[in-house]
Chains A and B, each alone.
Chain A
Amino acid sequence: MNGCIVAFCCEHSAYPAADLAGKLRLHYPENIRVIRVPCAGRVDVIHILKALEKGAAAVLVLGCEDGACHHITGNTRAKERVKYCNMLLKEVQIDGRPVAMFNLSPNAPHKFVSAVNEITKIIKESGR
């Protein structure tokens, strides 16, 4: 899976934002694979780590804006889990494989695209 970004997209925010980016014909790198989830809070640490174990270059978790989660606390929990993953990765000295959380609304396609572009840049800079 070298070079692929696995993006867990919440069905209330990031997934429709990605669709909208498509409708607007906004372009972003091809090496991203979206996995649709009902809430960013569904994403577990094991999912993120498995993706990295399989060779993902980065893992993104995208959920609703702070204070606008459909399920109130889902995006906050996701953020904590992403932090925890990064801490684990640091402890086992795996770096250059970013795990990041982004918050956006369903009508913010540009935020989706810039999230993907930002992570792609970080991957390139870390030389993977």
Chain B
Amino acid sequence: MESKDVLVVGSGISGVASALELANAGVSVYLIEKEAVIGGHSASFCCKATDICSKCSACVVSDKIKEAVIHPQITLLTNSTIKGLGGELGNFHVEIIQQPRYVDEERCIACGLCTEICPTDPKAIYPPFAEATPFSYILDKGRCLRFKGERCDLCRGSCPTKAIGFELKSKERELNVGAIIVATGFDVFDAREKGSLGYGRYPNVLTGLDLEQIFTREGYLRLPTNGKEPRNIAFIQCVGSRDEGHGYCSQVCCKYAMKLAGLIKYQNPDTQVAIFYIDLQTTGKGFAQFYEKYKESVRFVRGVPVEILQTISGELEVRFEDISQGKVCRDNFDLVVLSVGISPGKNSWDLARILGINLADDGFFDKKDSLSCNETNVDGIFLAGTCQGPKDIPDSIAHGIAAASKAMQMLAKSASRRRGN
């Protein structure tokens, strides 16, 4: 049956932006998300303001998520993925499978009694990250004793609203929609692939994303090993971008590294910060002034390190070629932050196969042609956000809005064609 409804796959900032635009235009939107909480990666980014806003747009994300959650035209389906697709523009049939959440998000009031009483370590039932929406607790089947065959009922018994149910099964449903917007986002480059940089081996080697989450949770930065303030920090750019496996710039790393460096210097002006780069991407609205401000207080080194070793005293020795000096150097730091790049989502291949859309050479979903912005090779299926290629938050929002625009335009065109105009 012909439908004017739209399915948005993925509830990161781009999907949320698409859904909101359509919803405000009166369209009924299904917003599906494979995780238990919505918001994607950017929902856990921290505010990087110093004495002025640093335009990182992390706060815009939380605003938009809130709007989407309360919007009457948006139906939110978490723990859901696409199993199959049939039909065409104006009349798609999408099979959705919704994994049981075990904790009813309508009933969970986030009181925390279940976590307190849970006997496992790490806890099998726990709260999502702070800004998570819905802010309902999550049950991890892999950790839960009950799913391992044991008879444990402690959390269910302690729940004051009876929100926990173990007998729930996965649900299947079919959605009839006119258009689909794919906004499945990205996966962070796994820094362990660059083994010589020590991520996963040395606790004081972190990624940019780790740093964002630390600032959001704690509000300040302390060394993972001893809880002390780091005095000497190195940021390494282009980890997983502009290299052999990734023929693109991730667009966000130079900016997030500099803004995080700015935040660190603001909190502790005595902390030394060095940024190792290939080409510094000091572009975008207001960014050049930001760079001017930190040019003197942050040490910018052209030359990306390839090896990090931990010394006996626990410091991190970074081995790099300082291009301006023309020689190989070794410098010690307390903390190293790897500015990891944006990689295509691991599930992209599966989704591409189900939907019949193409992947480009770099692994991101492919646009129809160079002059299109959101269209894919399938009429009625559009791309929004980083699943199509690296973007920062404002560009992801714009891309999501554009996808909504294209979806509406195409639905209108197809409807008038059916009417025989």
* Direct A–B contact in complex, judged by CB atoms less than 8 Å apart: yes
Contact yes or no, A109 B53, CB < 8 A = no
Select from chain B the residue with minimum beta-carbon distance to A16: B62
Q: State which of A66, A67, A68, A109 has its C-beta within 8 Å of the C-beta of B130.
A: A109
Give the interface segment out of A47-55, A83-91, A99-107, A118-126: A99-107
Q: Does A36 contact B (CB under 8 A)?
A: no
| A23 contact set on B, CB distance < 8 A | 110, 130, 135
Are B51 and A106 in contact, with the CB atoms below 8 A?
no
Chain B interfacial residues counted at CB < 8 A:
24
**What A residues does B66 contact at CB under 8 A?**
16
A110 contacts partner chain B, Cβ-Cβ < 8 Å: yes
Is B369 at the interface (CB under 8 A from chain A)? no
Main secondary structure, interface of B, reads: loop
Nearest residue, chain B, Cβ from A20 = B130
User: Interface residues of A, CB < 8 Å — how many?
Assistant: 22
Pairs A–B under 8 Å by Cβ, sample size 9: A20-B130, A24-B130, A68-B53, A105-B49, A106-B62, A107-B59, A107-B61, A108-B49, A110-B218
Report if B63 contacts A (CB, 8 A). yes
Contact A110 B130 (CB under 8 A): no
> Are the C-beta atoms of A110 and B62 separated by less than 8 Å?
no
Return chain A residues, CB-CB under 8 Å to B61: 107
Chain B residues near A81 (CB-CB < 8 A):
none
- B37 touches A (CB below 8 Å): no
The answer to whether A66 touches B46 (Cβ under 8 A) is no
B405 adjacent to chain A (CB < 8 Å): no
Closest 4 pairs between A and B when the two form their complex, measured CB to CB: A110-B219, A68-B53, A105-B47, A65-B53
Check B53–A106 contact: CB distance below 8 A: no
Is the CB–CB distance between A107 and B53 below 8 Å?
A: no
Q: Which of A13, A65, A104 has the most CB of B within 10 A?
A: A65
Q: Does B220 belong to the interface (CB within 8 Å)?
A: yes
Q: Is A77 an interface residue (CB 8 A)?
A: no
Inter-chain CA distance A64–B62, complex, in Å, is 14
Q: Which residues of B contact A25 (CB under 8 A)?
A: 112
Please give, as numbers and ranges, the residues of chain B lying within 8 Å of A105 by CB-CB distance. Answer: 47, 49, 53, 58-59
Nearest residue in B to A108 (C-beta to C-beta)?
B47
Q: Scan residues 186-227 of chain B and give those whose CB is less than 8 A from a CB of chain A.
A: 216-220
Chain A's closest residue to B217 (CB) is: A24
Q: Which A residues are in CB contact (< 8 Å) with B49?
A: 65-66, 68, 103-105, 108
> Is the CB of B52 closer than 8 A to any CB of chain A?
yes
B131 touches A107 (CB 8 A): yes
Could you say which of A13, A66, A107, A109 contacts B52, with CB atoms under 8 Å apart? A66
In addition to A13-B59, A103-B49, A107-B46, 19 A-B residue pairs with Cβ atoms within 8 Å of each other are A23-B130, A23-B135, A24-B130, A64-B53, A65-B47, A65-B52, A65-B53, A66-B52, A66-B53, A68-B49, A104-B47, A105-B47, A105-B58, A107-B58, A107-B59, A107-B61, A107-B216, A108-B47, A114-B219
A97 at the A/B interface (Cβ < 8 Å)? no
Q: Residue on A with the closest CB to B47?
A: A105
Which of A13, A24, A104, A114 has the most C-beta atoms of chain B within 10 angstroms of its own C-beta? A24
**Closest approach, in angstroms, between the C-beta of A63 and any C-beta of chain B?**
12
Q: A23-B130, A106-B59 are in contact. Are A67 and B220 (CB under 8 A)?
A: no
> Shortest distance in angstroms between A67's beta carbon and chain B's nearest beta carbon?
4
The answer on a CB contact under 8 Å between B58 and A110 is: no
Given contacts A66-B53, A68-B49, A103-B49, contact A111 B131 (CB under 8 A): no
Q: Nearest Cβ distance between residue B111 and chain A, in whole angstroms?
A: 11
Which residues of the partner chain A approach B55 to less than 8 Å between Cβ atoms? 67-68
Give Cα distance in the complex from A23 to B61, angstroms: 18
A residues less than 8 Å from B135 (CB atoms): 23
User: Which B residues are in CB contact (< 8 Å) with A24?
Assistant: 130, 217
Minimum C-beta distance from B394 to chain A (A): 13
Task: Mark interface residues in B125-146 (1 if CB within 8 Å of A CB, else 0).
Answer: 0000011000100000000000
B43 CB → nearest A CB, Å: 9
- When distances are taken between beta carbons in the complex, the residues of chain B under 8 Å from A66 are 49, 51-53
Contacts of A103 in B (CB 8 A): 49
Contact with A along B58-97 (1 / 0, CB 8 A): 1101110010000000000000000000000000000000
Chain A nearest CB, measured from B410 CB (Å): 33
Question: How far is the CB of A73 from the nearest CB of chain B, in Å?
Answer: 14
User: Which of B51, B110, B112, B219 is within 8 Å of A111, CB to CB?
Assistant: B219
> Smallest CB-CB separation from A23: which chain B residue?
B130
Chain B residues closer than 8 Å to A114, beta-carbon distance: 219
Residues on the A chain within 8 Å of B216, using CB: 107
- B46, B52, B58: the one contacting A67 at CB < 8 Å is B52
Q: Find the A residue at minimum CB distance from B66.
A: A16
Using a CB-CB cutoff of 8 Å, which residues 99-149 of chain B contact chain A? 110, 112, 130-131, 135
Q: Please, which residues of chain A bring their CB within 8 A of the CB of B53? A: 64-68, 105
